[in-house]
Amino acid sequence: MKIWAHRGCSLRYPENTLLAFEKAANLDGLEGIELDVQMSKDGGLVIIHDEQLDRTTDGTGFVKDYTLSELKKFHIKTINNELSETIPTLNEVMELLQKKRVKLNIELKNSKVMYHGMEEKVINVINKYGFEDRVVYSSFYAKSLEQIRKLLPKAEIGILDTKASDCIYKMNGKCGANAIHPYAGAIDLDRKDLEDINVRAWLTEDLYPEKQTGKVIEIRKLEEAGITDVFLNEPEMYL
């Protein structure tokens, strides 16, 4: 089983921050780091999961309604209410990880808000730092992945959805995906139907790291279901 850090080491550190990414990048045996990209009002690429600022920062409203300089003034919430980390840009993340061997799974957060031109902007940053061969692009929005495939014919692309069968349906369409990223609890296909496919699964209990469940993930059961990779908030516990 390949282990990915979901928004960095997000159980112990603020999600999608340079701190969480740095802690993850220093873990031995980690496959990669998953993060989420959105765009500011003036086209800056920022790393944040929710379309709105309210849950994870001391700001409010939609990410898309603020300029990059305005977004950088907000701070990320922590369990102890310390406000030291800010919303990172994709460039800042690449600067941090440039000399690390870790892979990246970049989720394009454009299924609810249409960020026009984001695909090309992200690819340009990745190419700038020489990360082309270490990135998996993913999204719930098939048309976004179609654009990635058009711009990068050899890209590794994972289609997101809840059910494995829905992922397969989309993958067999025109989205250009060569991997599926379903919910771990919705693997509704036989293992033989998933052979030769990278199945990178996410967990609903990991969607909001601040709501700790204390649940221990049974890696063996995930493997038996045909899952090849898993995104975890606490990857350090499973390496």
- Average pLDDT, rounded, for the chain: 95
Is 49 catalytic? The answer is yes
pLDDT of the residue at 207: 76
Which pLDDT belongs to residue 205? 74
Percent of the chain with pLDDT over 70: 96
Cα separation values, 98 from 25, 129, 137, Å: 11, 7, 18
- Dihedral sign for Cα atoms in the order 90, 95, 98, 102: negative
Rounded CA separation 79/239 (Å): 25
Domain ranges of the chain: 2-35+101-237
Which pLDDT band holds residue 206 (cuts at 50, 70, 90)? low
- Residue-wise pLDDT for 18-66, tens only, equals 999 999 999 999 999 999 999 999 999 999 999 999 999 999 999 999 9
| CATH class held by domain 2-35+101-237 | alpha beta
Q: Is 75 a catalytic residue?
A: no
CA pseudo-torsion sign 237, 204, 55, 231: positive
Mean pLDDT of 155-174: 96
**179 closest CA partner among 31, 45, 37:** 31
Give the phi and the psi of residue 153 in degrees, each rounded to 5. -55, -25
Strand partners, 88: none
